[in-house]
Amino acid sequence: DAGVIQSPRHEVTEMGQEVTLRCKPISGHDYLFWYRQTMMRGLELLIYFNNNVPIDDSGMPEDRFSAKMPNASFSTLKIQPSEPRDSAVYFCASSLAGLINEQFFGPGTRLTVL
């Protein structure tokens, strides 16, 4: 298996633009997680899904952030409109059986909002 796949790897955009980050989890993993990592705040869980259903989105910072998982092999995290403070590395991770089960992280998307 190729592991968790994220695209794009780097994204530079201007304030106010819509940003869509994509993730393909490891096949057979029932859980998918979206994280944000910054120097100031560290690694933060934004939202996670179980069998394509959002379970906890309490980490989503604002209504500008939304996430979907239309099927078991694809998820998106969208920011609309983007702001400079959204600049961070966004990770997608998947696991077989939940938060405390080993999570396999993707390589991340480095987002810069100018």
Partner 1 sequence: QKEVEQDPGPLSVPEGAIVSLNCTYSNSAFQYFMWYRQYSRKGPELLMYTYSSGNKEDGRFTAQVDKSSKYISLFIRDSQPSDSATYLCAMNRDDKIIFGKGTRLHILP
Rule CB under 8 A: say whether 42 interacts with partner 1: yes
Give the integer Cα–Cα distance in Å for 27 and 20. 22
From 19-27, 63-71, 80-88, 97-105, give the range in contact with partner 1 by CB under 8 A.
Answer: 97-105
Helices (H), 1-113: none
Indicate the residue among 81 and 107 with the shorter CB distance to partner 1: 107
From 18-26, 66-74, 76-84, 102-110, give the range in contact with partner 1 by CB under 8 A.
Answer: 102-110
Handedness of CA 36, 63, 8, 73 (dihedral sign): positive
Contact 48/35 with Cβ under 8 angstroms? no
From 24-32, 71-79, 80-88, 93-101, give the range in contact with partner 1 by CB under 8 A.
Answer: 93-101
Rule CB under 8 A: say whether 43 interacts with partner 1: yes
Q: Tell me what percent of the chain is helix, strand and coil, each rounded to the nearest 5.
A: 5, 55, 45
The residues binding partner 1 (CB under 8 A) are 4, 41-45, 55-56, 91, 93, 99-100, 102-108
